[in-house]
Structure 1
Amino acid sequence: MITRSPLLSAIPGLRHAFFSREGGVSDGIYAGLNGGLGSNDEPACVAENRRRMAEAMGVTSGHFLSLHQIHSPDVVVATGPWPTPERPRADALVSRTQGVAIGVTAADCGPILFVDPNARVIGAAHAGWRGALTGVVESTVEAMEKLGAERGGIVAAIGPLIRQSSYEVGDEFVERFMEVSAENGRFFIPAAREGHSMFDLAGFIRMRLENAGVLMIDDIGIDTYSDERFFSYRRSVHRKEPDYGRHVHAIALESE
């Protein structure tokens, strides 16, 4: 199953997909469409899953690009294929190359897909709490601008991620955000457990997008933790599973 953004779907010459775990060949704890190159799943299964995702995006497997993600604000420009073992260490990609699908992996963190339809520049960012707090959203927008995009013309879609009702954090987590800005307090509500709060990652990402000048924003609204159609790192921890699957969420410019 593929979830799509209504805003992005209305743009001609563009393909995008927020993939669920449905439609893959992996089994066990990875059952379904696990695209995680860093997981301990059978490499042949991951390769076939990624081939299927590439096909859905209208590109070859070699043109279905993702990163070695490190929870950073770092961005790379994708102009063509790179060997999987040599994929860059970063958390966002931007491109203006047709026929290349750029994607980020996630299993609770926030995937964001970007496009400036007029400049035909695309971006994909992996925004976990650390990346979102340290500027991956802003870095992606700046990198798109360097390729000719205008931030006021960028459309962004926030994909499936862990939602506030599922995202309990401790006081030390809240303090990290409050040290950056007292205004970040609005993204936390008290949890049932004393000394804990519930964090609104999607709301925080939206705020960072808006502050960066991106005002056309879609939010898919799916909670990866509670929705079993999606992989969830936190759910796997709570179930004491040894590992977890990863989604790849991707965007591509079609050839004109």
Structure 2
Amino acid sequence: MTLEILRAELLGGVTHGFFTRKGGASSGIFAGLNCGSGSSDLSDVVAVNRDRVAEAMGGPLRGVHQVHSSDVVTVDGPMPQPQPRADALVTARAGEVLTILTADCQPVLFHDPDNGVIGAAHAGWKGALGGVLEATVDAMIDQGAARDSIRAAIGPSISQAAYEVGEEFLDTFMAEDPDTLRFFANGRDGRYQFDLIGYGLHRLRSAGVTAEWTGHCTYSDPERFYSYRRTTHAKEADYGRLIAAIRL
């Protein structure tokens, strides 16, 4: 099966893609293009999937050990091993392919077409609240990007309709900034629906970056996307990871 690669119009001609689960070698609950080596999927099969992505992107994949932080790695030479613990990468080196893994969290790809700098960030609620998006922008600027030239695209992520949270979750955001109440809607039984994507767009735009969302919800489309929350609701043992990639 052919790989399905979603692209963002905002990112223009730079080589990039938000890969769906289609076209992969994994089977069972991981069926499709599971690129998560941290999953319990067969490591050889995950390697096949990642090789297919590398071939589509035209180069070896650079990634980090994601930990829901605001830490950013600048790729300016060979990647250290083991992978550094961080949640974003930036580079100004031609030919580098930066990647992020997600399964409901926001995969965010960045490009400054005027100055030749790219970035990729993993932004779940913890990372977004902790400033990973702004940290990625700052790291790009350190590599020569201009804030008003940076464009960012949020790929397939969990939508507000599928993201039910409790009062403690709301309190965490309100303690940081009471204005974030606007990203919560009333849900059932005293719970709330959180707009992670709207919050991500707000943080990006507040940082002076032009940003958009591709419009895809991971939870509501099991044929195309893995979803941690959907897997949890289905009481499945594990879940696959989607990959997003960008190459300068």
- Map of 2:87 onto structure 1: 91
* Match in the other structure for 1:218: 212
- Please tell me the residue identity of whatever aligns with 2:164: E
Q: How does 1:122-201 map to 2 (within 5 A)?
A: 122-191=118-187, 193-201=188-196
Aligned counterpart for 2:117 among listed residues 116, 121, 125:
121
Which residue number corresponds to residue 104 of structure 2? 108
Residues 86-140 of structure 1, C-alpha deviation per residue, up to 9 Å, x if partnerless? 1110000000111110011000000100011111000000000000001001100
Q: 8 Å contact 2:201–2:212 — kept in the other structure?
A: no
Runs of 5+ unmatched residues, structure 2: none
Give, in whole Å, the separation in 2 of the partners of 1:48 and 1:78. Answer: 24
Query: How many residues were matched structurally?
Result: 244
* Equivalent residues of 1:80, 1:100 under 8 A apart: no
Structure 1 unaligned residues grouped into runs of 5+: none
- 1:7 match: 10
Q: Is the 8 A contact 1:65 1:81 kept in 2?
A: no
| TM-score w.r.t. length of structure 1 | 0.93
Could you tell me whether the CA contact under 8 Å between 1:78 and 1:97 is conserved in 2?
Answer: yes
Determine helix, strand or coil for the equivalent of 1:184.
helix
How big is the shift at 1:80? 3.7
- Structure-2 separation of matches of 1:38 and 1:98: 28
SS in 1 for 2:165: strand
After the TM superposition, which residues 239-250 of structure 1 pair with which residues of structure 2 at under 5 Å, given as runs? 239-250=234-245
**Matched-pair contact (CA < 8 Å) for 1:166–1:226:** yes
- Find the residue that maps to 1:217 and give its secondary structure: strand
Q: 1:227 aligns with which of 207, 211, 221?
A: 221
For 1:217 and 1:135, how far apart are their aligned partners in 2? 16
Aligned AA (2:213): D
CA distance in 1, matches of 2:162, 2:111: 29
Q: CA RMSD in A?
A: 0.9
